Amino acid sequence: MRHAVFVPPLAMLASAVLAQRPDPNLLPTPPILTATPAALLIAGMDANGDARVTRAELTAAAARLAVAADDDKDGTISFIELADWARTWLGDQSAVPGRFDFDRNADDKVSPTEFTAELARRFGTFDKNSDGIVERSELLLIAERQDRGERQQGTRMPPTPAERRRR
Ligand SMILES: [Ca+2]
Ligand SMILES: [Ca+2]
Ligand SMILES: [Ca+2]
């Protein structure tokens, strides 16, 4: 009965590797990194393509955006114009910064000065080390995980055709 207990070396190796492989549920989960609409806007102000946005790049871009946002060229940005601008540049008209962030004197419109000042304020909050340059790392946020089961959900096998039909 010797052949019954013989284990080929390759199979032994494979079982040893399997035994050492850590349980994926016990692995540390990497942080979820995310960026806000304002972060996307600031990132897009990088004029020289070095992935860093300087104060000078911010100032120039904010001035251009203020002109572009004033659709009817009457010198102020109405809330309707601001909503259109936000949809294009922030991805959604309800994104932050919104009308109440821009309209500091509450006269229901946004002056070019209020507009550029708000973008400069945002730049300042992103520039965590206050060196006058916003780098990509300063634009990222670490998102809170919703629940501990997320990792399993994220790696779940795709649904079978039968499961898909039931949905
Ligand atoms: Ca740059
Ligand atoms: Ca206008
Ligand atoms: Ca910085």
Q: Which ligand has the nearest atom to the CA of 82?
A: 2
- Residue 123 within any structural domain of the chain: yes
DSSP code, position 110: E
Q: CATH number for the domain including 44? A: 1.10.238
Q: Which domain holds residue 54?
A: 38-143
Q: Which ligand has the nearest atom to the CA of 47?
A: 1
Report CA(148)–ligand 2 centroid distance (Å): 48
- Residue 2 within any structural domain of the chain: no
Report CA(65)–ligand 1 centroid distance (Å): 17
Counted domains in the chain: 1
- Residue 89 within any structural domain of the chain: yes
Note if the pTM is more than 0.75. Answer: no
DSSP code, position 141: E
Q: Which ligand has the nearest atom to the CA of 124?
A: 3
Q: Which of 80, 79, 108, 83 is nearest to 93 (CA)?
A: 83
Beta strands, E only, the chain? 32-34, 52-54, 77-78, 109-110, 133-135, 141-143
* Per-residue pLDDT tens over the stretch 56-88: 999 999 999 999 999 999 999 999 999 999 999
* Per-residue pLDDT tens over the stretch 106-156: 999 999 999 999 999 999 999 999 999 999 999 999 988 766 554 444 444
